[in-house]
Structure 1
Amino acid sequence: MQPNILLEARDLVGESILWSGEESALYWVDNGGKRIHRLEVAAGRHDIWPMPDFPTSIGMRKDGGFIVGLCREVCFWRPDGPFETFVVPEPDLPGNRLNEGRVAPDGSFWVSTMQNNLNADGSPKDMDRNSGAYYRIDPSGSITQLTMNEYGITNTMAWTSDNRFLTADTLANEIYSFAYDPSSRTIGDRKTIVDGFERGLPDGSCLDVDDNLWNCRVVGGSSVACFDARGSLRNLVELPVSWPTSCTFGGAGLSTLYVTSARFTMSEKHLAANPLEGSVLAVDVNTRGKPEPKFGY
Structure 2
Amino acid sequence: MTTEIKVSTWQAELAVDCRCTLGEGPQWDANHQRLYWCDILEKQLHWLAPATGESGHHQLDHMVSLAAPLDGGGLLLVGEDRLSRFDPVNAAVERFCDFETDNPVTRSNDARIDRHGSLWLSTMGKKAEKGAGSLYRLHRGKLTLLLSGLTIPNAICFSEDGEFAWFTDTATGVVMRWTLDSEGWPQGEPQSWADFSTTLGNPDGAVVDSEGCIWLALWGAGQVARLNQDGHVIGLIELPVSQPSCPAFAGADLEMLYITTAQEGFSDEQLAQEPSAGSLYVVETGVKGLAELPLRLV
TM-score (norm 1): 0.91
Q: 2:84 aligns with which of 66, 75, 83?
A: 75
- Post-superposition offset of 1:71: 0.8
Query: Secondary structure of 2:171's partner?
Result: coil
Q: Distance in 1 between matches of 2:184 and 2:167?
A: 19
Q: Which amino acid aligns with 2:110?
A: E
Tell me, yes or no, if the aligned pair for 2:116 and 2:183 is still in contact at 8 Å: no
Which residue number corresponds to residue 2 of structure 1?
11
- Post-superposition offset of 1:82: 2.9
Percent identical pairs in the alignment equals: 28
Which residue number corresponds to residue 44 of structure 2?
35
- Post-superposition offset of 1:184: 6.6
Which residue number corresponds to residue 126 of structure 2?
116
Which residue number corresponds to residue 96 of structure 1?
106
The size of the alignment, in residue pairs, is 285
Q: Distance in 1 between matches of 2:273 and 2:183?
A: 52
Q: Distance in 1 between matches of 2:16 and 2:38?
A: 14
Q: Distance in 2 between matches of 1:247 and 1:143?
A: 25
Q: What do residues 246-270 of structure 1 show as CA deviations (whole Å, max 9, x unaligned)?
A: 1111224212111110010001121
Quickly say closer, same or farther: Cα 1:183–1:128, change in 2 above 3 A.
closer
- Post-superposition offset of 1:90: 2.5
- Post-superposition offset of 1:43: 1.2
Tell me, yes or no, if the aligned pair for 1:99 and 1:155 is still in contact at 8 Å: yes
Q: Which amino acid aligns with 1:265?
A: G
Q: What do residues 160-197 of structure 1 show as CA deviations (whole Å, max 9, x unaligned)?
A: 13410001111111100001113372343311111215
Tell me, yes or no, if the aligned pair for 1:165 and 1:187 is still in contact at 8 Å: no
Q: Distance in 2 between matches of 1:251 and 1:161?
A: 19
- Post-superposition offset of 1:92: 3.9
Which residue number corresponds to residue 152 of structure 2?
153
Which residue number corresponds to residue 4 of structure 2?
none
Matched, 1:210 2:211: yes
Structural mapping, 1:1-297, within 5 Å? 1-79=10-88, 80-117=90-127, 127-139=128-140, 141-147=141-147, 149-162=148-161, 163-183=163-183, 185-195=185-195, 196=197, 198-218=199-219, 220-296=220-296, 297=298
Compute the RMSD of aligned alpha carbons: 1.6
Q: Distance in 1 between matches of 2:188 and 2:104?
A: 27
Q: Which amino acid aligns with 1:61?
A: L
Q: Distance in 2 between matches of 1:2 and 1:190?
A: 33
TM-score (norm 2): 0.90
In structure 1, list runs of 5 or more residues that go unmatched. Answer: 118-126
- Post-superposition offset of 1:91: 3.8
Q: Distance in 2 between matches of 1:161 and 1:237?
A: 23
More strand per residue: 1 or 2?
A: 2
- Post-superposition offset of 1:88: 1.9
Query: Secondary structure of 1:146's partner?
Result: strand
Query: Secondary structure of 2:269's partner?
Result: helix
